[in-house]
Chain A
Amino acid sequence: GENVEQHPSTLSVQEGDSAVIKCTYSDSASNYFPWYKQELGKRPQLIIDIRSNVGEKKDQRIAVTLNKTAKHFSLHITETQPEDSAVYFCAAGGSGYSTLTFGKGTMLLVSP
């Protein structure tokens, strides 16, 4: 089955800095890669996703890049703000399977 590794487990940045979270996956058949943000005690919420026919996608301060050859994808947050503080999960899925396999999460702390 699919295995998703996520790094780092915690990331502390100053407000205004950029943050990068990286994930690797094992199943070359996976073709859908969402990123979820989970605030403490809340539900995971999709912030951005990318499909395998695209190498990069951007939405305001958030971008995701995908390297299918290397089987890794990354989340980039620019101009971080304290409200970006949360746990971020990457996931991999698709290719006819409805399963999403999640990474272990990255706790992002943005200090004012």
Chain B
Amino acid sequence: EPEVTQTPSHQVTQMGQEVILRCVPISNHLYFYWYRQILGQKVEFLVSFYNNEISEKSEIFDDQFSVERPDGSNFTLKIRSTKLEDSAMYFCASSEQGAENEQFFGPGTRLTVL
């Protein structure tokens, strides 16, 4: 069964550094998402992406964040200048259609900012 994949599984970085988290959505899916989950807390929506542009973003997704689909398979989340509070698990998800359709989550990237 196809799955969403993410790399790396764990990223450790220094405060102020840029990080890029990578995701490969399920191949026939058209909608892509990033969520984050701070340890022990709920899953929080960051951004959704469709047709090569952002369709929705949350208040968390400020100017430090950006997303890109650089080729036909990868979907990336960039954090330009990481802060301590960016430490979290970041999940990528994809869905075949948009609203009212199952979102399939990747295994996550644990980001630790020191």
**A98–B55 CB distance below 8 A:** yes
Contact sample, A vs B, 14 pairs, CB 8 Å cutoff: A32-B101, A43-B91, A44-B91, A46-B103, A46-B104, A89-B42, A89-B43, A93-B100, A94-B100, A98-B31, A98-B55, A98-B56, A102-B44, A104-B41
Known: A98-B55, A105-B42. 19 other contacts (CB 8 A): A31-B99, A32-B99, A32-B101, A42-B107, A43-B107, A43-B108, A44-B91, A46-B102, A46-B103, A51-B100, A89-B42, A95-B99, A96-B99, A98-B56, A99-B48, A99-B58, A100-B45, A102-B42, A103-B42
Question: Residues of A contacting B95 with CB < 8 Å?
Answer: 98
**B91–A98 CB distance below 8 A:** no
**B99–A94 CB distance below 8 A:** yes
Contact of B98 among A36, A44, A98 (CB under 8 A): A98
**A98–B43 CB distance below 8 A:** no
Question: Residues of B contacting A103 with CB < 8 Å?
Answer: 42
CB neighbors of B among A14-40 (8 A): 31-32, 34, 36
